[in-house]
Homo-oligomer: A and B are copies of this chain.
Amino acid sequence: MLVAVDLVVLTVRNDRLLILTIDRGVDPFRGQAALPGGFVRPDEDLLDAAERELSEETGLSELRVHLEQLATYGHPDRDPRRVISIAHLALVPDAADPTAGGDAAAARWTAVGDLLDDPGRLAFDHHRILSDGVERARAKLEYSPLATAFCSEAFTIGELRQVYEAVWDTEIDPRNFHRKVSKTPGFVVETGATTTRQGGRPAKLYRRGPAELLHPPMLRP
């Protein structure tokens, strides 16, 4: 049985949640859009394989990418070659555009909303994997500080709020959000600096705090 890893790579740009897709350069599904991924090497750990494929097929190899295992898909009919795939979820800050490589003919950011609305656009069972990955990301923003993975090293609370709004596709009251984030222990810590890059009154800059879990969690409306 063949073993592969696939990647759901998400970022937030201009208040929209984007996912990285490639155009397949090989059969099956040659030419069709798909998630980046590839086979696991015999002496490779799964997470290492995911990291390698991310770097090979998309050129993204930042230090600041959050990578975790998502789920494994093994239905006998999901791939004519009988491949089981361990899908991974990657969250990256809004950074440079990807560059195709490996078995990928092209690599680009696509709006998640558009892909979710069109189940036939992605090859294999990748629509299902995408949908599971987005749901995982939405859920994790509730009880973990992972939203910071979409931000640059230092960020304002307003920028963090825009991440939540993009991923959850909702509007959040800026005042209540500010209160909640600053009162949740360990979520963010002040850097001391301020910025005006959002316009308006200068905002304090924060970086991610030490907390791994948020108590109490952020609540999706």
Residues on A lying within 8 angstroms of B by beta carbon are 1-3, 40, 42-46, 69, 71-72, 74-76, 82, 84, 86, 216, 219
Q: Which residue of B lies closest to A75 (CB)?
A: B45
By secondary structure, the A interface counts as loop
Chain B residues near A44 (CB-CB < 8 A): 76
A76 to B84, CA, bound (A): 17
Chain B residues near A82 (CB-CB < 8 A): 42
CB of B86 within 8 A of CB of A72, answer yes
Q: Which residue of B lies closest to A219 (CB)?
A: B216
A76 to B40, CA, bound (A): 11
Chain B residues near A72 (CB-CB < 8 A): 46, 69, 72, 86
CB of A45 within 8 A of CB of B76, answer yes
A44 to B82, CA, bound (A): 10
18 residue pairs of the A-B complex, CB under 8 angstroms, read A1-B1, A1-B3, A1-B42, A3-B3, A3-B84, A40-B84, A42-B76, A42-B82, A44-B76, A45-B74, A45-B76, A46-B72, A46-B75, A69-B71, A69-B72, A72-B72, A72-B86, A74-B86
Chain B residues near A71 (CB-CB < 8 A): 69
Chain B residues near A75 (CB-CB < 8 A): 45-46
Chain B residues near A2 (CB-CB < 8 A): 1
Chain B residues near A219 (CB-CB < 8 A): 216
CB of B46 within 8 A of CB of A84, answer yes
A76 to B72, CA, bound (A): 17
Partner of A74, one of B46, B74, B76, B216: B46
CB of A40 within 8 A of CB of B3, answer no
The 10 closest A-B CB pairs, nearest first, are A46-B74, A72-B72, A1-B3, A43-B76, A72-B86, A45-B75, A69-B71, A3-B84, A45-B74, A45-B76
Closest CB in chain B relative to A7 CB, distance in Å = 15
Closest CB in chain B relative to A185 CB, distance in Å = 16
